[in-house]
Structure 1
Amino acid sequence: MLTISDVTVAHISKLFRLGCYDTDHIFRVDKGFVAQIQSIYAGAVTKTLSQECSTEAMKTVPAEFTSIRHVRGILSMGRTEDPNSGGSSFSMLLGRAAHLDNEYTVFGKVMEGDEVLAALEQVETRKEGIFVMPKQRITITRATLDGPDLEPKLSEGAERYYVLDTNVVLHQIDLLERPALTDVIVLQTVLDEVRHNKLSVYKRLRSIIADEQRRFHVFCNEFHRETFVARRPGESPNDRNDRAIRVATQWYQSQLGEEAGVEVLLLTNDAENRRLARDAGLKCESIHEHVRARADAAELMDLQAGLTAGELHQGKLNISRHNSRQGAVFVSSLKGHTSILLRGDEALNRAIDGDIVAVRLLPEAEWTDQVDSKLADRAALAAADDDEEDGAGERDMGAMPFAADLETAVPKRLGEDLCSLHEKVDRLAFSVIWVVDHEANVISTKVAKTVIRSVAALSYEQAQLRMDDARLVDPLTESLRTLNRLAKALKAKRAASGALSLASPEVRFVLDSETRDPTDVAMYNLKEANSMAEEFMLLANITQARYFSSGTLTPADYLHYGLAAPIYTHFTSPIRRYADQMAHRLLAAIIQWEAVPREALDTSAATELIDNLNQRHTLAQHAGRASVALHTLIFFRAKATEEDAYVIKVRENGVVVLVPRYGIEGIVYVAARGERSAFAYDAKTDALIAPGCTLRTFDKVRVAISVDQSRAHRPKLQLAIIEPVLPRA
């Protein structure tokens, strides 16, 4: 069949695939003119038609006139006076019929079997009106749809056929229009998807197909018995079409299997489709991989075509002020990335700072990202011998997380202004800079004192909203998404190494502006943005710790059990913790930025100071928890309420529940002190069981929250399960 009248081809192919022509007959044989097959629905067949066959046979297709002449062997649609009335009847031309040109749809050609046409011309006929008809019925015993003929053969010197995925056509049509790419199989699945998604690209593809020198062949795989695939339950249309493309590629490869040196190569930009194709034993590449590997890559892709096809990326080159052999090109065409790092003279290719350049990417496995963790340089604003620093280590309490405020160890002017990284304001910073690959493996590390200007100052909520909004593709948002992807990879590696997740609910209170009594309480909702920042702070703490080569403990004690890290020190909170400030000063000495601090040279004094810091840190944690407990009691003191809760632990005499609405965790006893319990603890199932009631971990319950003030000097929060009703003994 031809590749021009694709609607007609699809219609007739489907009728053949359904077996609709079985037992039909050739009702007209006009020597030198046509042999015509009767319409299926006109009662020409002697078998009972299926419902699907009857429905399809009643359909008509629009006229698809072409410049192809009606000559012997041409397959041409029958019709009434209406040009768009083509149904299931068609003719095989027995000679030249010029009066049919541009009046009847040509959809195929007899490639083999001219002797059959000659035999038809020898049958005895009779004339009925305008028709010349055979005297005896010429029955079509069985009509099947075979695969496309693989003629014309490959271009001279070519070694393969290419099968295109839809994404290649939609996004690389400029590349496909280059004359260097020939011998391409265009599947009906792909044609349909392209026409549905972008008509302009579909028309350009049809133009390529019409050029005989390009040798683009259309295969109606959707109507071939060996390549048609039905959609599986639960399978998306896209996944079904990808599978159809792989099945057709497999079929073509099997047809060419005996031809030495000939292969079928699937070109797809879909990584998952490539994986499944390779699992099935198919040869496949992305269009980018294929173009890079071709000897005629320069001929196949000029600069503009490369930019349009996404093979090249254009942007302004910025040479590093610290390394003249390294630069970055800021681009907007690379999804998930805002800049491309160039390292070395060969990569820079004689370009200078400020040039607009086009860049071709390395294989994805060789990609790297540069990530900076910048901490406010408190040490530069408060020297070790300043009055403000005198005795700071002895009085440091860290950051005390009171119910409503965060009490820090430095003046507000220093903590909230000079050491705060405001948007588009120059600030002194101590930076840890990593170059990492696509999987967050650290390739190189650098620590340095820097002057920075933040592009933006975002809250966790603002950062999360940007990452979640698919409409935002600006450089800032894309850089956040890149950081988030890398952070997830870092977290997964820690988890795989045995790191623990020890997060506990963090409670936030809203206080009355006058009385300072709590008016509302809720559990702080952690977002991916929180985790993203946390991962890079942890990495910074681990990274800079490696710079310290000695200490009072043995190397075995450097390990951090909870983080599964080989070494760890404080570093990322110099405003809140004096321990971090100590690490900053030591690190500054190690990189020869300043002299070794006096306090670090006295081992005994340093040990005493660190012990004091640890003790006061513990006290600060206790103070913070006590503040939360106090405000919780004040909040619920005159406000008994009911809330949903979940069982998180089961004990022999009760259960521990968590109330998500308030972040409250507490024990509920199943029997009062001195009472006999109706519940029995089952150690095998870790459950409390009573007649008609069982309590297990993760069960949802309803609890009453109140304050027990029976002991005036020691009120306490009280939780009681009200749903389900707990039975009494």
Structure 2
Amino acid sequence: MLQSKTFVKKTKRGKILKVVREHYLREDIYSGSPLDPECDPASFKLSPDAQRYIVLDTNVALHQMDFLEHAAVTDVVVPAIVLEEVRARNQSVFQRLKALTASDFKRFYVFANENHKDTYVKQDPGESPNDRNDRAIRRAAEWYSQRMPGKPILLLTDDAGNRTKAIEAGVEAMSCAAYARLREDVPELSDLVSAGLATQAEQREVGGGAGPKKKRRVFEDHKPLSEVTAGIKAGRYHQGTLRVSRFNPWEGYIACQSVEQEILLSGRGALNRAMDGDVVAVELLLEEQWRGPSAHLPTQAELDAADASEGEEEVLGEDGGAHIAQVDPGEHYPGVAGAAGGDDTSAARQPTGRVVGIIKRSWRTRGYCGSLQPPRVPGASHGPGTASVLVCPVERRYPFVRITTRQAATLSDKRIVVAIDAWDTDSLYPTGHYVRTLGAIGDKETETEVLLLENDINTAPFTPAVHACVPPLPWALGEAEAADPARADLRHLPVCSVDPPGCKDIDDALHVRRLAGGNLELGRRIDMLPKPLTEDICSLRSGVDRLAFSAIWEVTPDAQILSTRFTKSIIRSREALTYAEAQARIDDERLTDDVSCNLREMNRLAKILRARRSERGALSLASPEVKFEIDTETHDPLDVGMYQLRDTNQMVEEMMLLANCSVAEATLGAFPACSLLRRHPTPAPRQFEPLLRAAAAAGFAIDASSSKTLAASLDGAVRASDPYFNKLVRIMATRCMTQAVYFNSGELSVPEYHHYGLAAPLYTHFTSPIRRYADVVVHRVLMAALGLAPLPGSMRDRPRVADTVDNLNVRHKNAQLAGRASVELHTLIFFRGRTVVADARVTRVMRVRANGLLVFVPKYGIEGPVHLDDADRAGKEGVSSSAPAAVDSAPGAVPRFVYDEEKQTVSREDGGVAYTIFDTCAVTISVEETAGNRRVLALRLTDRAQLPDGERMG
């Protein structure tokens, strides 16, 4: 049977075309059920023993995936029109739905309703596409009811109008919330129902009568998208991505091209329900209302008080009635409800605005980790039955989330995952739903899973299909590889690897040898991702043959590069050394074996290369890296300290940089329009302001006009009496940098390729293919450049390459954040149950605020806030940021402090204490539990003499 589908579309050039397509309808489209006598057994998917078959509606597929993924929801018919609509509207949800249809356990069957002559429906005149699709879904449910009259068929839809029409047509229909109540055998199913508008309306109906009491408006309405778009074009509004401060959850910033400086958003009213990562439209306030970032460092007491007063506490009683109490958080901290917490001195002012619209929400489909807010009454516990409770996210930048659950008592000591569904103007926080339980609060495995999920690190095991591609172990070099004429046999060379202790994924190895003419041959091997690959087959272990990709240079004795070549190779590493072992070999002149001599020669060449890079303006920066000594049985940290860098670290780094720069030149020369490169954008002058201000307060002038002048300034920032001072300045400089990013060479102009930090015109990542996918892509492009393999077709597909590059940048950043979070977790575990005094000789003030300090403890790599009032009583009213006010000398009064931003000092008005940036101080370090079951490192100013000798460390 032949039908025609007619529609119009807009071309890339703006023309409107009418398209007519033939649409073939068939009778041999199967239902997927053994109960259908006409169904081909090869198509069986639905269970004949299922209590009912569920037909899925599009709105449920789009908004109730957590519900659908529960093990109790099985035997579901997915009309093809639903799959098509979901694919067009949300790719992330589409992939999750596809995974359900591929699962044998879940039994989700895709029914080709659009191709069956009995279920295809034509769009009626005046009927919207959405209404036509709803009618097609109802028709599919009717067809199943007629085909299998003995099996209950349920249309699952949260659209009240669709339910009504289905019931009128004789098809049973329910919302997800109603179906969850029906499934009394699975009480937790109700928790997974997304609290969308339709569900909330139904809950009001079930609650009976008037429903929840009317609540006052807390936030302004967001402007419609059409008005926002017009306002941006007219210059009234400004678009950007919101970043919320780590130290002040009520302060955010957006950067946009239309305003030179970042726009400050101060107070919850200004944020107007926007969350970190949202793309927002901002309206600038009048210039006299502009202010600077808050000079006030929120105390833990203020943060906890604001958390405890996050507003409504709504409890649904057993009768379904709602009882609401609402507290204004502004009474605890002026910045919460809308009063600005910023600095209004003219020198500190910057453009200040308020959010008027959300252009794109960044709400995570994977959810947010958190725990239930404990009951306000001490000693009380969450009771039985359905309750509306607050979930406190582990990341303070995000707001509390209200969920409805029957498991409140069970979940009270657990880390859980919740998803956000809506945020209304009359609620201080968004509404969401429970997704899953991770484990007990404080358990190391649970907290590790939390940090991985928070940073979107996929820990799912590799699929059987992936493992099928991996050669079985034990692996050995085959005759075909050994005889490959394109692969150089370098097993006779004195190759060695230098890596951190315990490294299993050895991804590079080095060699150097003297050539007949007096020049040197310098080489770096890069192997070609399941554990058998990373820890065995592709790991360049010593004493075994391995396949590699070699970058080989002929250089003069003073490290001038004469030629470069790349080749597939076979190597046998002589030694697998740690950085310390390699350094010991270099330092011990009595060792004259090939490996030791080669290490000395490579180290000499590396120092020349490093000096040459410095002359070009390459920056030598620093970061507070730490290392842990781990118990082999419990895997808990036994000790923590700063990571020690040796000459061998810099030697390996120089070889890596040389290889990466050389490969960038080779791939770009062969494929100028589709090479994967890495660039480091030049920081904007305003990004250096914290560094310039801090250095000036210490008596040093920093010239940040170019990387070369900055490098020279950093080299000159030295105090003879303070050997650690220069490293502190370099750490500050590191924090002024922009993020280096991957890019496709065809998307930018050549000057934009520049890597600011390395002072290199071209750079890429080639040296870690068993740890970074970017390096795998670069290996493939280099193979094509050498004529060893064709260029992958995907590299010529610019939109696809753009997607790959975007994903690489996101994943790279997520991995960095997860690494830092892991360090924080292990640091918390190390300090749990102990109080430590950090040495006053090395603990440093890194930033000065109006009522406190941000200090850095080098021994532990810890940086955190310290409040000048140890009792955490210093409220904002006790701080002066300009001229001194009268000293409050009443007994027990809150101390008052004077903050000088230009000189970077804060001092008590009575002259009792004063701190300047880079000062030393002594702090105690301990672990405290704050509101919302967050565990934080608490740093407090102290005197070493206050603690017993056994508790003094550092």
Tell me the TM-score normalized by structure 2: 0.34
Tell me the TM-score normalized by structure 1: 0.43
